[in-house]
Amino acid sequence: MSPAGAPERARRLIAIVPWVAARDGATVDEICERFQVDRRRLLDDLETLQFVGVAPYTPDLLVEVVVEDDRVWIHLPQGFDRPLRLRPDQALALLAAARGAASVHGAVDGPLGSALEKLARALGLADADAVDVDLATADPATLELLRHAVTDRRCVELDYYAFGADRRSHRVVEPHRISAFEGHWYLAAHCRQAEAERVFRVDRISGATVLDERFEPRPEVGEARPFVDVEELDAPEVVLELAPSARWVVEYHPVANVEELPDGGLRVTMPVTAEPWLGRLLVTLGPAARVVGGDPSFADLAARTASRVLGRYE
């Protein structure tokens, strides 16, 4: 199961809260089954939820969560009944995101399209098409091919150029998700060659062929994490064991593999493009991180970095 980072937890709670609040005591097992979350993580989420509310966060304005006899009740404070009011910048960001999604998933129509038209008029725009979103230079035909492969769960053979390593490769992947990040389209997939998840920048795919072979979805592929093209990182790797307090690392740094540990921590494999960067990270984390594998030169890097920093003070 993927690590429970803050963005993942927020998305999960946004889905769970209204569903449970609309029911008179859903069971813990029902919630776990519907939202594909394990029992321990759900109970942790519900405990955190009790501190959520609206300003000024007095007890009557906090979410009330009751867990009794293996059933869950969620009562929302009155402030949650107020209509949602978006600031102009939030409304424009929402409209731009919808236009970006339309460029790969097709036209936005139906109730959602009607809502976006109303949103555009509220912003003083003629219609939703007045916002044009251009995401990098990805080939529209390649995007369309990949979109259908994701939907149909068909394997794809890629001709891919890894910029950092300056090499081309041919590989068969199981495409799981297409997303936009900071002006580029990315494909999250399970790579048969690497036998692990990889993220490919679509504008660096020079050829793609959909195969007849179908695949079963892998829940661990395509979860939210930094969109770093790990294939282009021709770098040594380090394996770290992170304490629960250091789980945030996987949300801010590229990782090639993540494993849950019994104590709530993580074992992560990370590409290291620059030794000083890893040294600073290890010193920052202190006892919350331990090098347990990877390139042997990183075994005592934390101590060497700390000594070098202390030497400057002396």
State CA 248 to chain mean position distance.
Answer: 12
- Where do we find the tokens 């429970």? 4
Both 155 and 126 in one domain: the answer is no
Percent with pLDDT over 90 in the chain = 15
Q: Are 145 and 138 in contact (CB under 8 A)?
A: no
Both 199 and 174 in one domain: the answer is yes
Give the domain-ending residue among 199, 231, 263: 231
Both 174 and 220 in one domain: the answer is yes
Both 159 and 111 in one domain: the answer is no
Both 224 and 292 in one domain: the answer is no
What is the identity of the amino acid at 312? R
Q: What CATH number should be reported for the domain holding residue 35? A: 1.10.10
Q: Is 75 helix (H, G, I), strand (E, B) or coil?
A: strand
pLDDT at 41: 87
Whole-number average pLDDT of the chain: 79
Structural domain boundaries enclosing 116: 88-130
Both 253 and 208 in one domain: the answer is no
Q: What CATH number should be reported for the domain holding residue 268? A: 3.30.70
Per-residue pLDDT of 92-121, as tens digits, reads 777 777 766 655 555 556 676 777 777 777
Both 165 and 198 in one domain: the answer is yes
Tally of domains in the chain: 4
Count the neighbouring beta carbons within 10 Å of the beta carbon of residue 201.
22
Between the alpha carbon of residue 5 and those of residues 8, 19, 224, 276, 278, the distances in Å are: 5, 22, 9, 26, 21
Q: Give the mean model confidence (pLDDT) for residues 69-90.
A: 76
pLDDT at 103: 56
Tokens describing residue 284: 């920052």
Both 59 and 92 in one domain: the answer is no
Both 147 and 219 in one domain: the answer is yes
- Where do we find the tokens 């969560």? 65
What pTM does this model have? 0.41
Quickly state the pLDDT bin for 267 (edges 50, 70, 90): very high
Residue 253 lies in a domain: yes
Give the domain-ending residue among 205, 231, 257: 231
Residue 1 lies in a domain: no
Angle at which helix 6-21 crosses helix 39-49, to 10 degrees, equals 80
**Residue 117 exposure: Cα atoms within 13 Å on the Cβ side:** 8
Angle at which helix 39-49 crosses helix 28-35, to 10 degrees, equals 100
Residue 135 lies in a domain: no
pLDDT at 3: 44
Give the domain-ending residue among 60, 81, 102: 81
Tokens describing residue 237: 């790797």
Q: What is the dihedral of CA 104, 106, 109, 115, to 10 degrees?
A: 10
Per-residue pLDDT of 10-54, as tens digits, reads 888 888 888 998 888 889 999 998 888 888 888 888 888 888 877
Residue 136 lies in a domain: no
Both 305 and 244 in one domain: the answer is yes
The full 3-state SS of 124-192, as one line of letters, equals CCCCHHHCCCCCCCCCHHHHHHHHHHHHHCEEEEEEEEECCCCEEEEEEEEEEEEEEECCEEEEEEEEC
Residue 45 lies in a domain: yes
Q: Are 153 and 214 in contact (CB under 8 A)?
A: yes
* Best mean pLDDT range from 87-91, 239-243, 245-249: 239-243
The lowest-confidence range among 75-79, 263-267, 310-314 is 310-314
Residue 205 lies in a domain: yes
Phi, psi of 41 (to 5 degrees): -70, -40
Residue 256 lies in a domain: yes
